[in-house]
Structure 1
Amino acid sequence: MKTFRLLAILSVLSITILTGCSKKSDDVNPDPATGAAGFKVKVDGKEYAPDFSYALASFPANDLYYAIYGLDSKTSDIVAIALPKTVKEGTFPINNVNFAMATFNKQDFSTINGGSGTITITKRTDTNVQGTFSFTAVDATGKLSRTLTDGSFNVNVR
C-alpha cells in the first residue's frame, strides 16, 4: 500500500511539475545560501542544483500539505519535501509524515519507505519559503538509498 501511495504521489507530482514548467526570471537557480532564489543539495556527495525550484501551496493529491521542490528539466530528476500546512518556521523531522522524495536516473526514493532527516524552515510567508534540509531516502525495495545533505532553498510559493 505504501508503494502504491508513493507511486501515485510521484506520478501526480511529476505531471504537475512538467506541465507547469515555463522558464521565467524567478525560475532561475542561483545560490539560496546568499539570499537569492533557488534550491540546491548534495546527493551522495555530488552537487544537485536543479533549474526549476518552487513551493506549491497545496501538494498534488493532498490539500493538507504544501511542497518544496527542485526539478532538473534536462534529466527529470526531482527532489521534493512535503509538509503539513500547519508547519511554519522551526526545525522538523523528515519521516513518513513530513516526507521527502527524490527521483534520480528514473529510480524513486522516499522517506515513506523508511528514510529520515530534518528540515528547518527559516522563513515562511504566503509567497516565499526558505530553509535548509538533509535526509536519507530509500527505494521501494528497501535495498537502495540516497543521502541528501547540505540542502538549502529559497523558493516562491505558487
Structure 2
Amino acid sequence: MKTLKTMIPKTTLVLILITVMLSSCSSSDDTDASGQSAYYLTAKIDGVNYSREFVTVSALPDETDAYIISAVGEISSIGLSLESPISTGTFTSSIGDLTVLFYQEINPYAVWASSDDVGSGTITVTENTDTYIKGTFSFTGVNQLDNSIKVITDGNFKAQKL
C-alpha cells in the first residue's frame, strides 16, 4: 500500500498544506483569541515578533501520514507539518522527510517554505498529550517564485488537537 509520502511530491505537499491553511482562515481579526488562550504560537519573522492564539493540530484526510500545526490569521499564517505518528524529538526538513514549515502572507499572496527541496528548518516536539502538542521551531523559508527568504526564529507553540 502506498503512503502519502510515496504518492505526493514535496512541492505538491506544500501546496496542499497551503490550501488547507487558506480554507481554515476565519473572518475574525488576527488578534482574536477565539477562546483559545491556552494555545499559542510565537516566533520572530525577520526579527519582528509574531503571535497567534488560535493554534490547532489536524490530520490530513487519510489520518495516517501527516499532521499539520496551524496558526491562521487574516493577514498571515504559519504552518508546520510532521509525519505521523507524532512523537517527542527533533525533526528537520530534509530529503525524504514529510516535515514542512511555511509562512504565508495573504495580500499580496506569497509563501516562504522549508521542505526537503528548499530552505532549512527544525521542529522540536517537547510534549505530546491527548489534547495538545507543544514544542519549538525555526526555519529559513524560501519563496520559490522570486527566491526571497524569510528567517523565522525563536518559534514556540502549544497546539490543541482536534
How high is the TM-score relative to the length of structure 2? Answer: 0.77
Aligned to 1:144: 148
The reply on whether 1:110 has 2:113 as its aligned counterpart is: yes
CA contact (8 A) 1:38 1:53 kept: yes
CA distance in 2, matches of 1:48, 1:102: 11
How high is the TM-score relative to the length of structure 1? Answer: 0.78
Aligned to 2:123: 119
Aligned to 1:10: 18
Q: Secondary structure at the match of 2:85?
A: coil
Aligned to 1:31: none
Q: How does 1:58-137 map to 2 (within 5 A)?
A: 58-59=59-60, 63-73=64-74, 75=75, 77-95=76-94, 97-104=98-105, 105=107, 106-112=109-115, 113-137=117-141
CA RMSD of aligned residues (A): 2.6
CA distance in 2, matches of 1:20, 1:156: 20
CA distance in 2, matches of 1:81, 1:115: 14
Q: CA 1:61–1:95 in 2, change beyond 3 Å: closer, same or farther?
A: farther
Structure 1 residue runs of 5 or longer lacking an equivalent are: 29-35
Structure 2 residue runs of 5 or longer lacking an equivalent are: 1-8
CA distance in 2, matches of 1:9, 1:65: 10
Percent identical pairs in the alignment equals 27
The number of residue pairs the alignment matches comes to: 146
Q: Which shifted more, 39-48 or 58-67? A: 58-67
Instruction: Report the residue type matching 1:48 in the other structure.
Output: Y
